[in-house]
């Protein structure tokens, strides 16, 4: 999409106004102190940020993934950590909308969309990251319940979320033996390990989720047994668009900050942006950022149109996250020693950018996904 509609511009403006008022003033301090503000999350929910693509019938705004990408990009310009929190609480909504039954949707989706419920997605384990189908957490049927046992790693909002979508093994080995379950916080046997001390996204808690004889009713299973891996992959396809959008926000704000500095900073009585070594660097940063945004918008548009988008989402994720890492690194370079200090936000942007190449499937895995799509396309021909 090359131009935005008036209502999309108004939406982005409203998000920017909120972020400047509530988020920007605390982003740096919360990053330094690893502080998560539940009241700020609830406020974002009240503004509708948490339910952008969720149907109005379930408490959302009923907009598309294009609008979702725009909102997340704008939030990420102020705090990538908060953009990730909003994106991850959207994953249970995507899953419930596609695979949940009507009772589950009515019970959980309005709270998730309004921010009254903070959602989390629990797939990764100590021994199954990229090889997610190797997960070992179990869910054993016991009458009208399931009993879950296992440990989940790297869970965004772990320990503070109100609801966890947990992937667990109900059958044999491999993807076909995995099912998905809703596990509310406070369920007996659900506990949390240490909070990770991370390089970036420090105001978004990431923690180990421990399940010890956690009993949930069978009505908390999402879809039939054995579709859990399919549930997880569908969520990750959508999540790759959101991570790409967040990465574009990081690239955009880093480029703007560095360009403004280079315009004001003089050396040898000349603004440093006029030196080709700096000006060309900024030109490439701006160009790569805009190109990444267009790939995100293509993937979001395909999803909104109900067309296949997994390939395009993988492409957008690889490109946007690699771009964010490169652009934030170059932005620090433009500012020299100043960029390396916490007096300026570029070092935070750079730290936040790194994990984008890892989450929602590493970029190495994304390249495998892209290559498989290409193989299928050209084999069919």
CB 317 within 8 A of CB 295: no
Buried b (16+ CB within 10 A) or exposed e, 80-106: bbbbbbbbbbbbbbbbbeebbeeebbe
Enter the DSSP assignment of 196: P
Sign of the torsion formed by the C-alpha atoms of 267, 270, 272 and 276: negative
Transcribe 56-94 into DSSP letters: GGGTS----HHHHHHHHHHHHHH-HHHHHHHHHHHHHHH
How many Cβ atoms are within 10 Å of 278's Cβ, its own excluded?
21
Residue 343: C-alpha distances to residues 91, 267, 305, 347 (Å)? 35, 21, 44, 9
Q: Three-state DSSP class for 86? A: helix
CB 211 within 8 A of CB 135: no
178, β-bridge pairs: 169
φ, ψ of residue 319 in degrees (nearest 5): -65, -45
Interatomic CA distance for residues 9 and 286, integer angstroms: 21
Kindly name the residue from 74, 125, 312, 360 that is annotated as catalytic. 360
Residues 6+ apart with CB under 8 A from 3: none
How many Cβ atoms are within 10 Å of 61's Cβ, its own excluded?
19
Interatomic CA distance for residues 9 and 346, integer angstroms: 26
Interatomic CA distance for residues 42 and 374, integer angstroms: 43
> Is-catalytic flag, 34?
no
Q: How many residues does the chain have?
A: 381
φ, ψ of residue 259 in degrees (nearest 5): -65, -40
Beta-sheet pairing, 163-169 with 119-122: parallel
Q: Three-state DSSP class for 194? A: strand
CB 38 within 8 A of CB 160: yes
Give me the active site residues, please: 360
């Amino acid at each position: 999409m090359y131009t935005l509609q008036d209502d999309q511009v108004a939406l982005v403006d409203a998000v920017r106004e909120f972020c400047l008022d509530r988020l920007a003033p605390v982003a740096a301090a919360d990053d330094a102190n690893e502080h998560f503000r539940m009241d700020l999350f609830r406020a974002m929910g009240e503004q509708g940020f948490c339910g952008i693509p969720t149907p109005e019938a379930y408490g959302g705004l009923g907009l598309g993934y294009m609008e979702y990408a725009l909102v997340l990009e704008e939030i990420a310009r102020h705090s990538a950590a908060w953009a990730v929190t909003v994106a991850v609480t959207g994953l249970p909504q995507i899953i419930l909308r596609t695979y949940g039954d009507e009772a589950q949707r009515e019970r959980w989706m309005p709270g998730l969309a309004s921010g009254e419920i903070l959602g989390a997605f629990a797939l990764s384990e100590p021994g199954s990251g990229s090889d997610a189908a190797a997960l070992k957490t179990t869910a054993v049927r016991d009458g009208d319940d399931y009993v879950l046992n296992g440990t989940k790693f790297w869970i965004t909002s772990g320990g503070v979320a109100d609801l966890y979508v947990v992937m667990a093994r109900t059958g044999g080995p491999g993807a076909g033996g995995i099912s998905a379950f809703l596990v509310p916080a406070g369920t007996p046997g659900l506990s949390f390990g240490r909070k990770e001390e991370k390089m970036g996204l420090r105001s978004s808690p990431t923690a180990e989720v421990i399940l010890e004889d956690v009993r949930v009713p069978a009505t908390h299973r999402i879809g039939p047994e054995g579709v859990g891996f399919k549930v997880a992959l569908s969520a990750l396809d959508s999540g790759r668009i959101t991570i790409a959008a967040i990465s574009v926000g990081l690239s955009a704000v880093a480029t703007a900050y560095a360009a403004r500095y280079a315009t004001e900073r003089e050396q040898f009585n000349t603004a440093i942006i006029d030196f080709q070594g700096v000006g060309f660097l900024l030109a490439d940063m701006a160009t790569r950022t805009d190109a990444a945004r267009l790939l995100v918008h293509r993937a979001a548009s395909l999803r909104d149109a109900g067309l296949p988008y997994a390939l395009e989402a993988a492409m957008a994720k690889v490109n946007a996250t690699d771009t964010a890492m490169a652009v934030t690194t170059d932005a620090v370079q433009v500012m020299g020693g100043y960029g390396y200090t916490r007096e300026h936000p570029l070092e935070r942007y750079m730290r936040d950018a790194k994990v984008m190449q890892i989450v929602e499937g590493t970029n190495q895995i994304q390249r495998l996904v892209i290559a498989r799509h290409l193989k299928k396309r050209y084999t069919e021909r």
